[in-house]
Structure 1
């Protein structure tokens, strides 16, 4: 089934050193022996360095390289342990493995998994996160890694039982199992800034981040559907969820999923524009980073052989469209994310100010 051109209002870009970054990622995967020989061979062919280069087209090269290596490592976990490995159908055992890896990220000096190649790669990644980021950014990176691990155990429970989750549960799971949140701190590191706590904790910032995650993972499901249907245990894709829970045909599920991502992408643009207008210079940079994350994922998704699958070609689009199939302003009707529309602006609103600045303004007014 052909995937039609997807809506994208964000212009494409790529880091000028993308070829060198991709080559170094392949060398990094070999040096740490990420995954089996066969899995590593496949991952190196997926041009993951180009993915990072599209997400961080103007980022510091060393951080763009870190992201490329990290994403390849994530695929080593996701493909090797979860989707293709036996652990992906044994949630209890998978939880133990991932908790030990999490401890390596938290305390690299701990004498755990010393002969494990994934742990070796993670120790290297953790050292570079600490080198290029602040202590707060490193802590958030580890916290988001925990979210990712927790969600893939949830995935494993469905594989084990052979069940398809509800749309609301799947949406909640997908906000984390795509590992998008683990990239968010890297977006800051790539440009050498850090959002202030009063902005980071703003409810609208969490909404715009989750919207970005939704669009990226829905796009991934749409573009990977052809590849995934050829594998056993096809339970965890939004098209399968819509077919099962909504009684839709495959074509109807595709049309519905595209409409959902279009509506969310429109809401994302409105909210990101608002936050850029009322926030700090760091907020404007962060919104630009989220936009690049969305568009970079799209461009890589329609070009990487991970999804084009040349041995069994997928009918993926080669262009994008500037017209959404659904530009509605109403919530999607998915309970887990309906609150997003509460913070999407419908008119002008006040500039974001820190609690301290607000207190100082009140004191001055007295």
Structure 2
């Protein structure tokens, strides 16, 4: 077992004051909709998914925190129940069909499709709550992001069936979506009852910040879940396995993966500092939400029994470091995401040299 050192995290920790009640309510929601098998529900309830949501939206509307918690549990019902623990996860064509039917429920919850299907029932409930707490365009974007997630897990299923490992560039692209981080982004806005304007949402710097957040969250998840996945004994896919396939030892892969996430996290902080300086109050709220999402994922990742696996201790860190690994101003050598650095300020703060983010200055 490789012991993971404390990971770099310059983002303050925070948690919603109703976290315990949210966690209880999410457990009740899982039972009411019978998400997954009874055994899967028993395990998921122990993972404190409500606490995770409370860390993502520490200052958000409680009803949205509850919705987010239920959605994350639903995602684990799909990811664990369909993709990881059933043979459907090794049949990409059948998995695509199943997910497309669920997507139709998300898109048109009024349709009488998949009656009696627990995941469809839960998803229908979630979509109606998205409508209640968000705008029409946020609901449309939420469904579109859910489709991105479905597409990426089918892609992963093709590798699971073949027993193959993708290249680092291909894996990076897939991981931006198969962690379902993008589906949570609209909920960051709903949690504080606002909506980015189209020119803000589509700005390359905002897109880059979102992708960087997805990268850090999923790389951290890969690092912290590696012991659990290896111990399970079946097919698994994470960045460490990708790097090992490229010839690195497990220890070398760990060092490299940690350095990669450190590099991106440092660039993310510089870019979001600049966005907060030059953007509207909505932009400032949104980048604060992205930061809370990253730190909430980190805090939950080192504390949830999903990853600490107390019966077979994973050797996870119990704290975070203020020290970045390697050259914090370097560029990550992965072709698919190199464009991020065209927008990242060169210096360690917004006052440093670097491109100004045209189109956000003076926004209302």
Give the TM interval when normalised to the shorter protein.
Answer: over 0.9
2 CA distance for matches of 1:348 and 1:178?
Answer: 31
Query: Which residue pairs with 2:229 in the alignment?
Result: 228
Aligned residues: 357
The corresponding residue for 1:53 is: 54
Q: Residues 281-338 of structure 1, C-alpha deviation per residue, up to 9 Å, x if partnerless?
A: 0000000000000000000000000000011111000110000113432321111111
**Cα pair 2:169 2:334 within 8 Å, conserved:** yes
Aligned-partner Cα distance in 1 for 2:362–2:9: 38
| Deviation sequence 1:112-166 (CA, Å, 0-9, x none) | 1111000000000000000000001101100000000000000000000000111
2:120 & 2:52 partners in 1: Cα distance?
A: 23
1:110 matched to 2:111? The reply is: yes
Measure the CA separation in 2 of the matches of 1:297 and 1:242: 23
Counterpart of 2:12? 11
Deviations 1:163-199 (A, max 9, x none): 0111000000000000000000000000011111111
Deviation at 1:23, TM superposition (A): 0.2
Contact map agreement 2:280 2:363 (CA 8 A) in 1? no
User: Structure 1's 357 and 260: CA in aligned 2 closer, same or farther, altered over 3 A?
Assistant: closer
Contact 1:51–1:68 (Cα < 8 Å) also in 2: yes
2:349 match: none
**Secondary structure at the counterpart of residue 258 of structure 1:** helix
1:93-108 alignment to 2 at 5 Å? 93-108=94-109
* Superposition CA RMSD, Å: 1.5
Corresponding position: 1:91 with 2:83 = no
Could you say which residue in structure 2 is the equivalent of 1:38?
A: 39
Alpha-carbon distance in 1 for matches of 2:354, 2:251: 40
Contact 1:330 1:341 survives alignment (8 Å):
no
Using the alignment, how far apart are the partners of 1:112 and 1:323 within structure 2? 51
Report if the CA contact (8 A) 1:95-1:153 is conserved: yes
The answer to whether the Cα contact below 8 Å between 1:198 and 1:355 also exists between their aligned partners in 2 is: no
Which residue in 2 is equivalent to 1:69?
Answer: 70
Q: Check 1:355–1:294 CA distance in 2 against 1; reply closer, same or farther (3 A cut).
A: closer
Q: Tell whether the 8 Å contact from 2:279 to 2:360 is kept in structure 1 after alignment.
A: no
On the 8 A contact 1:55/1:292 being kept in 2, the answer is yes
Secondary structure in 2 matching 1:230: helix
- After superposition, residues 133-282 of structure 1 pair within 5 angstroms as 133-245=134-246, 247-282=247-282
Instruction: Report the CA distance between 1:111 and its aligned residue.
Output: 2.0
- Structure 1 unpaired stretches of 5+: 359-366
Q: What residue number does 2:309 align with?
A: 309
What's the secondary structure of 2:321's corresponding residue? coil
TM-score (structure 1 length as normaliser): 0.95
Instruction: Answer yes or no: is the 8 Å Cα contact 1:302–1:308 preserved in 2.
Output: yes
